[in-house]
Amino acid sequence: MISTVYAISLAGMAFIAAVFIFVIKNSKEVEADYPSVIQKWYGVRGKWFIFLAILGITVTFLSTSPYPIADQEKTYEDNEHQVVKVGAHQWYWTMVPNTVESGKPVAFYVTGEDVNHGFGVYDDNLTLVAQTQAMPGYTNKLIHTFDKPGKYKILCLEYCGLAHHAMITELTVN
């Protein structure tokens, strides 16, 4: 997911850069008949708009069905899920239990005990695999299935004061 998004961004930005460079290269010679330039490129603009609209609708549909966030009304305290209760404090985590099994969905019940925090789950390559906000007065239910065992790090992803960057703990996945 991350590398695909990165590649799409770079490709899109490179495309826009190429178009701007093309126009710069063609800016010195003068086409006195500007109305004909307008007429020609307005036609292209219509197609460009339709392309972007179709792209937007398609991407929206594909990326939101099924909706990627777990149903928050549902309770996950059943045999199909491992429930981990997470409390975010200035500046430490409480996590019960702090060991889970791979291959079986984990339901993290995450809340902020004082201010807003961000519950970020990082694998052993320091790649972010899942996250949710930890907000006072609310419990966010994050469902994640770990593919592989290992030592995962929990990092704070919402600025919460002076030791924000030191708010790190570990989750063991067997």
Among 86, 93, 95, 131, binds another protein (CB under 8 A): 131
Residue 118's CB: how many other CB atoms inside 10 A? Answer: 20
Return the range that interacts with another protein (CB under 8 A); candidates 4-12, 79-87, 98-106.
Answer: 4-12
Indicate whether 67 belongs to the interface with another protein (CB under 8 A).
Answer: yes
Which of these, 93, 94, 96, 106, lies nearest to 149 by C-alpha position? 106
Among 140, 146, 152, 173, binds another protein (CB under 8 A): 140
- Identify the burial level of 3 via C-beta atoms within 10 angstroms of its C-beta, where 0-12 means exposed, 13-18 middle and 19 or more buried: exposed
Indicate whether 83 belongs to the interface with another protein (CB under 8 A).
Answer: no
Indicate whether 41 belongs to the interface with another protein (CB under 8 A).
Answer: yes
Indicate whether 136 belongs to the interface with another protein (CB under 8 A).
Answer: yes
Return the range that interacts with another protein (CB under 8 A); candidates 46-54, 77-85, 99-107.
Answer: 46-54
CB of 81 to another protein, least distance (A): 16
Among 76, 93, 122, 152, binds another protein (CB under 8 A): 122
Rounded to whole angstroms, what are the CA distances from 27 to 21, 22, 24, 39, 59?
Answer: 10, 9, 5, 18, 35
- Chain-centre distance of CA 105, in angstroms? 19
